[in-house]
Chains A and B, each alone.
Chain A
Amino acid sequence: MKQTTIYITADNIISSLGFTTKANWENIVAERTGVECHHDTSIYPSPVWISKIKEETLTAASKALQNPRQYSKLEQLFLLSIKDVVERSKIDILAEDSLIIIASTKGNIDLLEHKNQGKFPSNRVQLGTMAEQIQQYFNNPNTPLVVCNACISGVLAMDVAKRLLRRKKYKNIIVTGGDLVSEFTLSGFKSFKAMSDAPSKPYDKNRVGINLGEGIGTVLLSTEKPVDQTEFITLEGGASSNDANHISGPSRTGDGLFIAIDKALKDSASTSDEIDYMSMHGTATPYNDEMESKAIALANLQEVPLNSLKGYIGHTLGAAGLIESIVAIQSLKNNLLYRSLGFEELGVPVPINVIKETSSMPLHKCLKTASGFGGCNAAMVFAKSSNKTL
């Protein structure tokens, strides 16, 4: 049976590289990174390599919001990103058949830090209350869903939307994902000795760990075919899985991620040889990248060109799956594969095809993957088609 077609009709990225998808894409194509060394003791006691949105840029952008000071930093970023998508798509966000789904690992966690206590009501640290602020800003009639599932939250939130759209519960779902770089998460990843003291190097033999980043990614998923477009991006299918192995370390075999990839291919009625490109999780920690190479081999995708966006904007946690999917969609639209920044020499046990130079190539279908603490994995397939092929 043919599944309901799900179109991705508008998107937005906010990161250190810019406040729109276009600005981010242009910087990525130019191979500019937003990861920098920050010597700011209000962020962390020692220097850290992170991708951070400049306060003055956010303050200027937030003037477009109604009463921006009523909202936390993360809430302002969510509002700006959703606002951009609403305006671009002209979606009726007041309609009963529209919904907002939010992906975040820690939400307003910075409000729990002692230096920020008392700035907002204490319940704003609850994701459900944060989500209501966002829903009420846009006067959307439905209680928003929040997906809080570690580093796969962004991809998984789109998979949740897929299920609801196929079920015909809604016509339009805005899926947004976001997290901040906070002292809470920085010190946590530092305590795991998972951070890199230089720009990260996914899949490289000298990789030592991640850079944290902050940002928002927002997409509009719709069952209504956009009337003003001749080329369409569709969400073909997706799936999740669990390693059932360890809560803070990836599987040693890659079988968990393989299950998610295999199910996502089946869900999208795709075969591995139809995949032209893969946007991987690629955190640049030794174990994660090693695990991914094994999963890629199990899925028979070793020849397919792949990259990790982490060298450009770091690991944006709950936003990562969304931002990286939106950039992958830009690759599909532009037939352009960007260089996997930081990669020089293969450093994973199974040979994989990491993109060394930004290059053009006809692209039709791509795979996005994510993995996270708790042993969770997710995979999703996106496709490009024209009026002729649909």
Chain B
Amino acid sequence: MIPTEKIYPCCEIKAGEIILDGKVLYENKELPFPKFIKGAYKALELNYPKFHKMDRLCKLAFVAANALLKEGQLEGYAPSDIGIVMANSKATLHTDSKYADSIKDRADYFPSPAVFVYTLPNIMVGEICIKYKIKGESVFFVSNTFDKKMLTEYSQDMIETGNAKICLMGWVDYTDTDYHAILYLIQ
């Protein structure tokens, strides 16, 4: 078995910084999250109109995945050989609260399918799959803390058992007061 301490390609987004393999790729510590992530989207030249429809959690995951995979690291892999193992602690709490507000008043009742669809955390996996044509195995876990060891072992197991040849693994969490994305490419 490969030791879990092995260094994998990694992209981390937190506190106004995008860090790719230890180097700052984009930085803007002054902006609130919506403007920060839009700035990152522009700086990375993502040019993906569906991005603007996503909720904040998906935008965070999407930018992290694109920063990590921007050199075409998934090219050459069959769609069903690429796996995704992701987790967070708050699931979709930010969008859940927004959606719950839209149905709190019977006189002003406006549930929206465009908001409701983002009340499932695996939607971010779906968004990444659509962009990169990933059709392999995937799973979304929710836990109060980021259990990197468990998620790494799970990804390695998918590869060792032949269920995937490469695996995107990580943690993407968003609340009104904090955000953190950290994605690894397990090979």
A 145-166 contacts with B by CB, 8 A: 145-150, 156, 159-160, 163, 166
Query: Does B96 sit within 8 A of A, measured CB to CB?
Result: yes
User: Total contacts A to B, CB within 8 angstroms?
Assistant: 152
Give B65 Cβ to nearest chain A Cβ, in Å: 13
Contact A126 B144 (CB under 8 A): yes
Contact B122 A148 (CB under 8 A): yes
Contact A109 B96 (CB under 8 A): yes
Query: Complex: how many Å from CA A190 to CA B116?
Result: 10
- Chain B contact residue count (CB 8 A cutoff): 51
Query: Complex: how many Å from CA A188 to CA B110?
Result: 10
Give B158 Cβ to nearest chain A Cβ, in Å: 8
Interchain CB contact (< 8 A) of A247 among B100, B106, B127, B139: B127
Query: Does B142 sit within 8 A of A, measured CB to CB?
Result: yes
Query: Complex: how many Å from CA A229 to CA B133?
Result: 46
Query: Does A376 sit within 8 A of B, measured CB to CB?
Result: yes
Query: Does A282 sit within 8 A of B, measured CB to CB?
Result: no
Residues of A within 8 A of B145 (CB): 128
Query: Complex: how many Å from CA A167 to CA B161?
Result: 10
Residues of B within 8 A of A239 (CB): 137, 163
Residues of B within 8 A of A240 (CB): 137-139
Query: Does A114 sit within 8 A of B, measured CB to CB?
Result: yes
Query: Does A129 sit within 8 A of B, measured CB to CB?
Result: yes
Scoring A106, A143, A188, A255 by chain B CB atoms within 10 A of each residue's CB, the highest score goes to A188
Q: List the A residue with the shortest CB-CB distance to B54.
A: A247
Give A109 Cβ to nearest chain B Cβ, in Å: 7
Q: Given A241-B80, A244-B79, A374-B120, A163–B96 Cβ distance below 8 Å?
A: no
Residues of B within 8 A of A255 (CB): 135
Scoring B100, B112, B125 by chain A CB atoms within 10 A of each residue's CB, the highest score goes to B100
Query: Complex: how many Å from CA A106 to CA B142?
Result: 11
Residues of B within 8 A of A129 (CB): 144
B 65-124 contacts with A by CB, 8 A: 79-80, 84, 89-91, 93, 96-97, 99-100, 103-104, 106, 109, 111-113, 116-117, 119-123
Q: List the B residue with the shortest CB-CB distance to A144.
A: B143
Contact A146 B143 (CB under 8 A): yes
Q: List the A residue with the shortest CB-CB distance to B112.
A: A191
Interchain CB contact (< 8 A) of A374 among B96, B99, B123: B123
Q: List the B residue with the shortest CB-CB distance to A245.
A: B130
Mark each residue of chain A from 234 to 257: 1 if its CB lies under 8 Å from any CB of chain B, else 0: 000001111111111000000110
Residues of B within 8 A of A127 (CB): 91, 142
Mark each residue of chain A from 258 to 295: 1 if its CB lies under 8 Å from any CB of chain B, else 0: 01000100010000000000000000000000000000
23 contacts between A and B (CB under 8 A): A113-B103, A125-B96, A126-B142, A128-B142, A128-B144, A145-B141, A146-B141, A147-B139, A163-B157, A167-B157, A191-B113, A192-B113, A240-B138, A244-B129, A244-B133, A247-B117, A247-B123, A248-B113, A259-B80, A263-B137, A372-B122, A374-B122, A376-B126
Apart from A242-B135, A243-B135, A263-B137, 7 more pairs, CB < 8 Å: A159-B139, A188-B119, A241-B136, A244-B129, A244-B130, A244-B135, A267-B163
Residues on B facing A (Cβ under 8 Å): 79-80, 84, 89-91, 93, 96-97, 99-100, 103-104, 106, 109, 111-113, 116-117, 119-123, 125-127, 129-130, 132-145, 147, 150, 154, 157-158, 161, 163
The 3 residue pairs across chains A and B that have the minimum distance between CB atoms? A374-B126, A128-B144, A188-B116
